[in-house]
Amino acid sequence: MATPVVGVLALQGDVREHQQVLTDLGAEVVLVRTQAQLEAVSGLVIPGGESSVIDKLSRIFDIAQPIQDRIAAGMPVFGTCAGLIMLADTVVDAIRGQQSFGGLDVSVRRNAFGSQNQSFETQIEVPELGGPAVHATFIRGPVVDAVGSRARVMAALPDGRVVAVAQGNLLGTSFHPEMNGETRFHRYFLDRVAEHAD
């Protein structure tokens, strides 16, 4: 079986952590900053960071529209934290002029869990992934306010707040699985890449 070639959007955020997890899972990883690099990959991870900065830089680097085009064409994409915000069709508290790539039929709220010093870790059941509960790290994470008819909930906190969603080849989490050895979301993403390549 061919080694999957996947990208990590490398404009800002925790790029190296995703690169490490994907490499450990056997993928060939391209750090994506240009349209040519985007064209070389079969899937893309959008890391956590600052969604407004990722948005701004993606437009400065002229890669925002190419990413939107690839999403529309079915490219598998996995967004964590700010990456989930970038995948959401609606950002309910975006700063002035902020845009997302879109594709996921959800509305998200930025920094819904408070400031950096209110970061926390918890266990979350994700039945679709099987096995033990997911150890989830939240760092100024967004929350999914509304899930449209095309998307589905993968995981929620005990209080009902939605923190992981999927839709076709798109996957988004409010938390950072790449930070604590959790590989099942990345495996899920790589499975979508393999299926899309067939």
The distance of Cα 190 from the centroid of its chain, to the nearest Å, equals: 13
- From 174, 169, 191, 193, select the one nearest 5 (Cα to Cα): 193
- CB atoms inside a 10 Å sphere around CB 163: 26
Contacts with 40 (C-beta within 8 Å, 6 or more apart), sequence order: 5, 7, 30
| 186 carries an active-site annotation | no
Residue pair 174/81 in contact (Cβ under 8 Å)? The answer is yes
Q: Which of 81, 121, 125, 128 is catalytic?
A: 81
Q: Which of 18, 176, 182, 186 is catalytic?
A: 176
| 121 carries an active-site annotation | no
In our burial notation (b when 16+ CB lie closer than 10 A, e otherwise), range 123-134 reads ebebeebeeeeb
User: What is the C-alpha to C-alpha distance for residues 164 and 166, in angstroms, rounded to an integer?
Assistant: 7
DSSP assignment of 15-27: HHHHHHHHHHTT-
| 178 carries an active-site annotation | yes
Q: Which of 39, 50, 125, 178 is catalytic?
A: 178
**Catalytic residues, which ones?**
81, 176, 178
